[in-house]
Amino acid sequence: MEFKKFRIRSYEGQSDRAQVEDLERRCEVGPAESVLFTDTMGDPICRIRNSPMYMMLVAELDNELVGVIQGSIKVVTVQGHPPKDLAKVGYVLGLRVSPHHRRKGIGSSLVRKLEEWFTCNDVDYAYMATEKDNHASVSLFMDKFGYTKFRTPAILVNPVNHHSLHISSNIEIARVKTEQAEYLYRRFMGSTEFFPNDIGNILRNKLSLGTWVAYFKGDNIIDFGSDGQVPNSWAMLSVWNSGEIFKLRLGKAPFCCLLYTKSWCLIDKIFPCLKLPTLPDFFNPFGFYFMYGVYHEGPFSGKLVRALCQFVHNMAAESKDENCKIIVTEVGGRDELNHHIPHWKLLSCPEDLWCIKALKNEGTNTFHELTKTPPKRALFVDPREV
Protein backbone atom coordinates (compact mmCIF):
# COMPACT_ATOMS: atom_id res chain seq x y z
CA MET A 1 0.00 0.00 0.00
CA GLU A 2 1.43 3.40 -1.03
CA PHE A 3 1.19 6.28 1.45
CA LYS A 4 0.84 9.94 0.55
CA LYS A 5 3.97 12.03 0.84
CA PHE A 6 4.33 14.11 4.01
CA ARG A 7 6.72 16.98 4.68
CA ILE A 8 8.87 17.63 7.78
CA ARG A 9 9.48 21.30 8.58
CA SER A 10 10.07 23.67 11.48
CA TYR A 11 7.17 24.73 13.66
CA GLU A 12 5.76 28.15 12.80
CA GLY A 13 4.10 29.68 15.83
CA GLN A 14 1.27 31.79 14.45
CA SER A 15 0.12 29.46 11.68
CA ASP A 16 0.68 26.08 13.40
CA ARG A 17 -0.36 26.72 17.00
CA ALA A 18 -4.04 25.77 16.71
CA GLN A 19 -3.33 22.55 14.79
CA VAL A 20 -0.61 21.45 17.21
CA GLU A 21 -2.91 21.98 20.18
CA ASP A 22 -5.62 19.97 18.42
CA LEU A 23 -3.11 17.18 17.75
CA GLU A 24 -2.13 17.15 21.43
CA ARG A 25 -5.77 16.74 22.42
CA ARG A 26 -6.17 13.77 20.08
CA CYS A 27 -3.09 11.99 21.38
CA GLU A 28 -3.35 10.37 24.79
CA VAL A 29 -0.34 10.83 27.05
CA GLY A 30 0.33 8.36 29.84
CA PRO A 31 -0.51 4.77 30.75
CA ALA A 32 -3.89 3.51 29.58
CA GLU A 33 -5.43 3.25 33.02
CA SER A 34 -4.97 6.95 33.89
CA VAL A 35 -4.51 9.11 30.82
CA LEU A 36 -3.03 12.57 31.36
CA PHE A 37 -3.90 15.41 29.03
CA THR A 38 -1.61 18.42 28.74
CA ASP A 39 -2.95 21.93 28.35
CA THR A 40 -0.11 24.12 27.03
CA MET A 41 -2.24 27.24 27.48
CA GLY A 42 -1.66 28.51 23.96
CA ASP A 43 2.11 27.86 23.87
CA PRO A 44 2.95 24.45 22.34
CA ILE A 45 6.70 24.94 22.90
CA CYS A 46 6.33 25.87 26.57
CA ARG A 47 8.16 22.71 27.72
CA ILE A 48 11.35 23.57 25.80
CA ARG A 49 11.23 27.36 25.67
CA ASN A 50 13.45 27.72 28.76
CA SER A 51 16.23 25.48 27.40
CA PRO A 52 19.49 26.97 26.03
CA MET A 53 18.67 25.67 22.50
CA TYR A 54 15.46 24.13 21.26
CA MET A 55 13.65 23.01 18.13
CA MET A 56 10.13 21.87 17.26
CA LEU A 57 9.39 19.98 14.05
CA VAL A 58 6.04 19.17 12.49
CA ALA A 59 4.94 16.67 9.86
CA GLU A 60 2.50 18.06 7.31
CA LEU A 61 0.23 16.06 4.99
CA ASP A 62 -2.24 17.78 2.66
CA ASN A 63 -2.04 21.01 4.72
CA GLU A 64 -2.81 19.06 7.91
CA LEU A 65 -0.34 18.65 10.76
CA VAL A 66 -0.16 14.93 11.48
CA GLY A 67 2.93 14.73 13.67
CA VAL A 68 5.14 16.76 15.96
CA ILE A 69 8.38 16.37 17.92
CA GLN A 70 10.44 18.62 20.20
CA GLY A 71 14.08 18.69 21.17
CA SER A 72 16.46 20.70 23.35
CA ILE A 73 20.24 20.92 23.73
CA LYS A 74 22.38 21.67 26.78
CA VAL A 75 25.76 20.88 28.35
CA VAL A 76 25.77 18.48 31.32
CA THR A 77 28.12 16.48 33.52
CA VAL A 78 29.00 13.04 32.12
CA GLN A 79 31.83 11.48 34.12
CA GLY A 80 34.75 10.39 31.95
CA HIS A 81 33.70 12.39 28.91
CA PRO A 82 36.46 14.67 27.58
CA PRO A 83 37.02 17.48 28.19
CA LYS A 84 36.39 18.17 31.87
CA ASP A 85 33.61 15.55 32.22
CA LEU A 86 31.19 17.72 30.20
CA ALA A 87 29.08 16.60 27.23
CA LYS A 88 26.52 18.21 24.96
CA VAL A 89 23.24 16.27 25.09
CA GLY A 90 20.03 16.49 23.10
CA TYR A 91 16.71 15.66 24.74
CA VAL A 92 13.91 14.18 22.62
CA LEU A 93 10.39 14.80 23.83
CA GLY A 94 6.82 15.43 22.75
CA LEU A 95 6.66 12.94 19.86
CA ARG A 96 3.04 12.81 18.71
CA VAL A 97 1.51 11.27 15.59
CA SER A 98 -2.15 11.61 14.70
CA PRO A 99 -4.03 8.36 15.50
CA HIS A 100 -5.30 8.19 11.90
CA HIS A 101 -1.81 8.48 10.39
CA ARG A 102 0.26 6.05 12.42
CA ARG A 103 2.41 3.24 10.97
CA LYS A 104 3.27 5.40 7.96
CA GLY A 105 6.83 6.28 8.95
CA ILE A 106 5.92 9.74 10.24
CA GLY A 107 7.28 9.19 13.76
CA SER A 108 10.53 7.71 12.41
CA SER A 109 11.02 10.64 10.04
CA LEU A 110 10.51 13.14 12.84
CA VAL A 111 13.05 11.40 15.09
CA ARG A 112 15.55 11.17 12.22
CA LYS A 113 15.24 14.88 11.40
CA LEU A 114 15.63 15.87 15.04
CA GLU A 115 18.76 13.72 15.37
CA GLU A 116 20.14 15.47 12.27
CA TRP A 117 19.62 18.80 14.04
CA PHE A 118 21.44 17.41 17.09
CA THR A 119 24.36 16.29 14.91
CA CYS A 120 24.60 19.67 13.19
CA ASN A 121 24.93 21.23 16.66
CA ASP A 122 27.73 18.90 17.75
CA VAL A 123 25.63 16.90 20.24
CA ASP A 124 27.42 13.94 21.85
CA TYR A 125 24.39 12.00 23.12
CA ALA A 126 20.66 11.99 22.44
CA TYR A 127 18.31 10.77 25.16
CA MET A 128 14.59 10.39 25.78
CA ALA A 129 12.21 9.38 28.54
CA THR A 130 9.04 7.30 28.30
CA GLU A 131 6.85 4.97 30.34
CA LYS A 132 8.34 1.49 30.35
CA ASP A 133 4.92 0.13 29.31
CA ASN A 134 4.75 2.38 26.24
CA HIS A 135 5.71 -0.46 23.91
CA ALA A 136 5.36 1.57 20.71
CA SER A 137 7.78 4.25 21.95
CA VAL A 138 10.24 1.71 23.38
CA SER A 139 10.20 -0.26 20.13
CA LEU A 140 10.73 2.83 17.99
CA PHE A 141 13.67 4.23 19.92
CA MET A 142 15.40 1.06 21.11
CA ASP A 143 14.75 -1.36 18.24
CA LYS A 144 14.74 1.02 15.28
CA PHE A 145 17.04 3.85 16.33
CA GLY A 146 19.45 1.99 18.60
CA TYR A 147 18.81 3.77 21.88
CA THR A 148 19.93 1.89 25.00
CA LYS A 149 18.38 1.73 28.44
CA PHE A 150 20.16 4.30 30.58
CA ARG A 151 18.35 4.89 33.87
CA THR A 152 14.97 4.13 35.49
CA PRO A 153 14.26 7.05 37.82
CA ALA A 154 11.15 7.11 39.98
CA ILE A 155 8.54 9.86 39.56
CA LEU A 156 7.15 10.60 43.01
CA VAL A 157 3.85 12.45 43.30
CA ASN A 158 2.26 13.80 46.45
CA PRO A 159 -1.17 15.50 46.44
CA VAL A 160 -1.66 18.95 47.93
CA ASN A 161 -4.57 19.24 50.34
CA HIS A 162 -5.79 22.26 52.24
CA HIS A 163 -4.42 21.06 55.60
CA SER A 164 -0.94 22.33 56.50
CA LEU A 165 1.56 19.68 57.54
CA HIS A 166 3.39 19.83 60.86
CA ILE A 167 7.14 20.43 60.66
CA SER A 168 9.32 19.42 63.63
CA SER A 169 10.16 22.37 65.88
CA ASN A 170 13.84 21.39 66.10
CA ILE A 171 14.37 21.85 62.34
CA GLU A 172 15.36 25.16 60.79
CA ILE A 173 14.40 25.85 57.17
CA ALA A 174 15.99 28.84 55.44
CA ARG A 175 15.88 30.24 51.95
CA VAL A 176 19.26 30.87 50.33
CA LYS A 177 20.13 33.50 47.74
CA THR A 178 20.50 32.47 44.10
CA GLU A 179 24.29 32.99 44.08
CA GLN A 180 24.60 30.95 47.25
CA ALA A 181 22.40 28.19 45.81
CA GLU A 182 24.52 28.00 42.66
CA TYR A 183 27.67 27.69 44.77
CA LEU A 184 26.15 24.89 46.86
CA TYR A 185 24.90 23.00 43.81
CA ARG A 186 28.21 23.20 41.96
CA ARG A 187 30.10 22.16 45.07
CA PHE A 188 27.92 19.26 46.18
CA MET A 189 26.12 18.12 43.01
CA GLY A 190 28.54 19.18 40.26
CA SER A 191 29.59 15.54 39.68
CA THR A 192 26.00 14.28 39.58
CA GLU A 193 24.95 12.59 36.33
CA PHE A 194 23.43 15.09 33.88
CA PHE A 195 24.05 18.06 36.18
CA PRO A 196 23.34 21.09 33.92
CA ASN A 197 26.33 23.34 33.33
CA ASP A 198 23.99 26.34 33.20
CA ILE A 199 22.52 25.70 36.66
CA GLY A 200 22.70 29.44 37.32
CA ASN A 201 20.24 30.12 34.51
CA ILE A 202 17.82 27.58 35.96
CA LEU A 203 18.00 29.10 39.43
CA ARG A 204 17.51 32.62 38.04
CA ASN A 205 14.56 31.65 35.86
CA LYS A 206 11.26 33.25 36.90
CA LEU A 207 9.70 29.76 37.18
CA SER A 208 12.18 28.79 39.90
CA LEU A 209 10.51 29.82 43.15
CA GLY A 210 13.66 29.52 45.25
CA THR A 211 16.10 27.22 47.02
CA TRP A 212 15.81 26.16 50.65
CA VAL A 213 18.11 24.37 53.07
CA ALA A 214 17.18 22.50 56.24
CA TYR A 215 19.32 21.78 59.30
CA PHE A 216 18.81 21.14 62.97
CA LYS A 217 18.48 24.09 65.31
CA GLY A 218 21.52 24.61 67.46
CA ASP A 219 24.02 24.22 64.61
CA ASN A 220 24.57 28.01 64.73
CA ILE A 221 24.62 28.54 60.97
CA ILE A 222 24.81 32.27 60.21
CA ASP A 223 25.40 32.34 56.45
CA PHE A 224 24.84 28.83 55.13
CA GLY A 225 27.76 27.43 53.14
CA SER A 226 29.35 30.82 52.41
CA ASP A 227 32.45 30.05 54.50
CA GLY A 228 32.70 26.50 53.17
CA GLN A 229 31.22 25.05 56.34
CA VAL A 230 27.96 23.08 56.48
CA PRO A 231 26.32 21.15 59.34
CA ASN A 232 26.91 17.44 59.89
CA SER A 233 23.37 16.80 58.67
CA TRP A 234 21.61 19.05 56.18
CA ALA A 235 19.41 18.96 53.08
CA MET A 236 18.62 21.22 50.14
CA LEU A 237 16.09 21.49 47.32
CA SER A 238 14.69 23.98 44.81
CA VAL A 239 11.13 24.43 43.53
CA TRP A 240 9.99 24.99 39.94
CA ASN A 241 6.47 26.19 39.18
CA SER A 242 5.59 23.95 36.22
CA GLY A 243 1.93 24.93 36.47
CA GLU A 244 2.83 28.42 35.32
CA ILE A 245 3.52 27.18 31.76
CA PHE A 246 1.20 24.18 31.34
CA LYS A 247 -1.60 22.36 33.11
CA LEU A 248 -2.52 18.69 33.44
CA ARG A 249 -5.87 16.97 33.54
CA LEU A 250 -6.70 13.35 34.28
CA GLY A 251 -8.81 11.97 31.45
CA LYS A 252 -9.84 8.72 33.07
CA ALA A 253 -8.98 6.81 36.22
CA PRO A 254 -9.77 3.49 37.89
CA PHE A 255 -13.16 3.31 39.61
CA CYS A 256 -11.42 2.80 42.97
CA CYS A 257 -9.67 6.16 42.54
CA LEU A 258 -12.96 7.91 41.81
CA LEU A 259 -14.65 6.23 44.77
CA TYR A 260 -11.77 7.11 47.09
CA THR A 261 -11.80 10.77 46.00
CA LYS A 262 -15.52 11.24 46.53
CA SER A 263 -15.68 9.30 49.81
CA TRP A 264 -12.77 11.01 51.53
CA CYS A 265 -13.83 14.48 50.38
CA LEU A 266 -17.25 13.81 51.94
CA ILE A 267 -15.70 12.56 55.21
CA ASP A 268 -13.39 15.58 55.35
CA LYS A 269 -16.35 17.96 54.97
CA ILE A 270 -18.26 16.21 57.76
CA PHE A 271 -15.28 15.83 60.11
CA PRO A 272 -12.80 18.63 59.28
CA CYS A 273 -11.15 18.23 62.68
CA LEU A 274 -9.67 14.89 61.55
CA LYS A 275 -7.52 16.70 58.93
CA LEU A 276 -7.60 13.73 56.57
CA PRO A 277 -5.28 13.73 53.52
CA THR A 278 -7.70 14.20 50.65
CA LEU A 279 -7.19 13.47 46.97
CA PRO A 280 -7.62 16.70 44.95
CA ASP A 281 -9.89 17.11 41.93
CA PHE A 282 -7.69 15.95 39.04
CA PHE A 283 -10.49 16.03 36.47
CA ASN A 284 -10.17 19.77 35.89
CA PRO A 285 -6.91 21.37 34.67
CA PHE A 286 -4.37 21.69 37.47
CA GLY A 287 -0.79 22.82 37.96
CA PHE A 288 2.05 21.43 40.03
CA TYR A 289 5.33 22.25 41.73
CA PHE A 290 8.43 20.28 40.73
CA MET A 291 11.14 19.78 43.36
CA TYR A 292 14.57 19.59 41.78
CA GLY A 293 18.16 19.46 42.98
CA VAL A 294 17.21 17.46 46.07
CA TYR A 295 20.40 16.85 48.04
CA HIS A 296 21.08 15.54 51.53
CA GLU A 297 24.15 14.79 53.60
CA GLY A 298 24.67 13.40 57.07
CA PRO A 299 23.30 10.61 59.28
CA PHE A 300 20.01 12.36 60.06
CA SER A 301 19.49 14.15 56.74
CA GLY A 302 16.57 11.94 55.70
CA LYS A 303 14.41 13.62 58.32
CA LEU A 304 15.48 17.01 56.93
CA VAL A 305 14.50 16.01 53.38
CA ARG A 306 11.05 15.06 54.64
CA ALA A 307 10.75 18.39 56.45
CA LEU A 308 11.64 20.28 53.25
CA CYS A 309 8.99 18.32 51.35
CA GLN A 310 6.44 19.22 54.00
CA PHE A 311 7.51 22.86 53.73
CA VAL A 312 6.97 22.80 49.94
CA HIS A 313 3.55 21.19 50.44
CA ASN A 314 2.54 23.97 52.83
CA MET A 315 3.88 26.57 50.43
CA ALA A 316 1.67 25.14 47.67
CA ALA A 317 -1.35 24.82 49.97
CA GLU A 318 -1.02 28.43 51.12
CA SER A 319 -0.22 29.94 47.70
CA LYS A 320 -2.67 32.17 45.86
CA ASP A 321 -2.67 29.66 42.99
CA GLU A 322 -5.40 27.24 44.01
CA ASN A 323 -4.75 25.14 40.90
CA CYS A 324 -1.51 23.67 42.29
CA LYS A 325 -2.75 20.17 43.14
CA ILE A 326 0.41 18.03 43.35
CA ILE A 327 4.09 18.13 44.29
CA VAL A 328 6.32 16.12 41.94
CA THR A 329 9.95 15.09 41.97
CA GLU A 330 12.05 12.57 40.07
CA VAL A 331 14.99 10.71 41.61
CA GLY A 332 17.20 7.78 40.67
CA GLY A 333 15.39 4.45 40.99
CA ARG A 334 17.88 3.16 43.58
CA ASP A 335 18.29 6.49 45.33
CA GLU A 336 17.63 6.31 49.07
CA LEU A 337 15.75 9.60 48.72
CA ASN A 338 12.76 7.48 47.69
CA HIS A 339 12.28 6.52 51.32
CA HIS A 340 12.36 10.09 52.61
CA ILE A 341 10.19 11.92 50.08
CA PRO A 342 6.44 11.71 50.88
CA HIS A 343 4.45 10.34 47.94
CA TRP A 344 1.38 8.34 47.05
CA LYS A 345 2.00 5.06 45.24
CA LEU A 346 -1.40 5.43 43.59
CA LEU A 347 -0.17 8.54 41.75
CA SER A 348 3.56 7.81 41.40
CA CYS A 349 5.56 5.93 38.77
CA PRO A 350 8.25 3.66 40.29
CA GLU A 351 10.16 3.32 37.00
CA ASP A 352 10.36 5.97 34.31
CA LEU A 353 12.50 4.70 31.42
CA TRP A 354 15.38 6.84 30.14
CA CYS A 355 17.17 5.72 26.97
CA ILE A 356 20.36 7.15 25.46
CA LYS A 357 22.24 6.99 22.16
CA ALA A 358 25.78 8.06 21.26
CA LEU A 359 25.80 10.30 18.19
CA LYS A 360 29.60 10.26 17.83
CA ASN A 361 32.12 7.45 17.56
CA GLU A 362 34.44 9.05 20.10
CA GLY A 363 33.62 8.52 23.75
CA THR A 364 32.69 4.85 23.27
CA ASN A 365 34.13 3.90 26.66
CA THR A 366 32.12 6.64 28.37
CA PHE A 367 28.92 5.45 26.71
CA HIS A 368 29.65 1.89 27.81
CA GLU A 369 30.09 3.07 31.39
CA LEU A 370 26.80 4.98 31.23
CA THR A 371 24.71 2.09 29.99
CA LYS A 372 26.39 -1.08 31.26
CA THR A 373 27.26 -0.35 34.86
CA PRO A 374 24.90 0.16 37.80
CA PRO A 375 24.51 3.87 38.56
CA LYS A 376 27.04 5.03 41.14
CA ARG A 377 25.93 8.65 41.25
CA ALA A 378 22.66 10.44 41.79
CA LEU A 379 20.75 11.70 38.77
CA PHE A 380 19.94 15.40 38.31
CA VAL A 381 16.57 15.92 36.62
CA ASP A 382 16.35 19.28 34.86
CA PRO A 383 13.03 21.01 35.70
CA ARG A 384 12.97 22.54 32.21
CA GLU A 385 12.44 19.06 30.77
CA VAL A 386 9.55 17.92 32.96
**Tens digit of each residue's pLDDT (9 = 90 or more) over 268-313:** 555 555 455 566 777 788 999 999 999 999 999 999 999 999 999 9
Model confidence band, residue 376 (pLDDT cutoffs 50, 70, 90): low
Whose CA is closest to 376, among 91, 82, 197, 151?
Answer: 151
Lowest model confidence (mean pLDDT) among 35-39, 48-52, 213-217: 35-39
Model confidence band, residue 80 (pLDDT cutoffs 50, 70, 90): confident
Residue range 349-357: mean pLDDT, rounded: 92
Would you say residue 186 has pLDDT above 90?
yes
Would you say residue 266 has pLDDT above 70?
no
pLDDT at 361: 78
Model confidence band, residue 251 (pLDDT cutoffs 50, 70, 90): low
Q: Which residue has the higher pLDDT, 179 or 369?
A: 179
pLDDT at 182: 96
Q: Which residue has the higher pLDDT, 52 or 377?
A: 52
pLDDT at 328: 95
**136-140 own/partner pairs: CB under 8 Å, 24+ apart:** 137/95, 138/353, 138/355, 140/107, 140/108, 140/111
Residue range 334-345: mean pLDDT, rounded: 87
Q: Which residue has the higher pLDDT, 269 or 115?
A: 115
Would you say residue 1 has pLDDT above 50?
no
pLDDT at 284: 80
Judge contact between 108 and 140, C-beta under 8 A: yes
Model confidence band, residue 134 (pLDDT cutoffs 50, 70, 90): confident
Would you say residue 28 has pLDDT above 80?
no
Residue range 345-360: mean pLDDT, rounded: 90
Most confident range (mean pLDDT) of 31-35, 370-374, 381-385 is 381-385
Model confidence band, residue 52 (pLDDT cutoffs 50, 70, 90): very high
Radius of gyration of the chain (CA): 22
First to last CA, the chain: 39
Integer Cα distance of 241 and 283 in angstroms:
20
Q: Which residue has the higher pLDDT, 173 or 261?
A: 173
Residue range 203-219: mean pLDDT, rounded: 95
Beta strands in the chain (DSSP E): 7-10, 36-39, 53-61, 64-77, 86-97, 125-131, 148-151, 154-159, 171-176, 208-216, 234-241, 247-250, 287-297, 324-331, 352-358
33 burial class (0-12, 13-18, 19+ CB within 10 angstroms)? exposed
Integer Cα distance of 195 and 191 in angstroms:
7
pLDDT at 32: 46
User: One-letter amino acid identity for 347?
Assistant: L
CB atoms within 10 A of CB 330: 26
Residue range 75-90: mean pLDDT, rounded: 92
pLDDT at 36: 60
Integer Cα distance of 106 and 136 in angstroms:
13
Cα four-point dihedral sign 154, 160, 163, 165: positive
Integer Cα distance of 36 and 251 in angstroms:
6
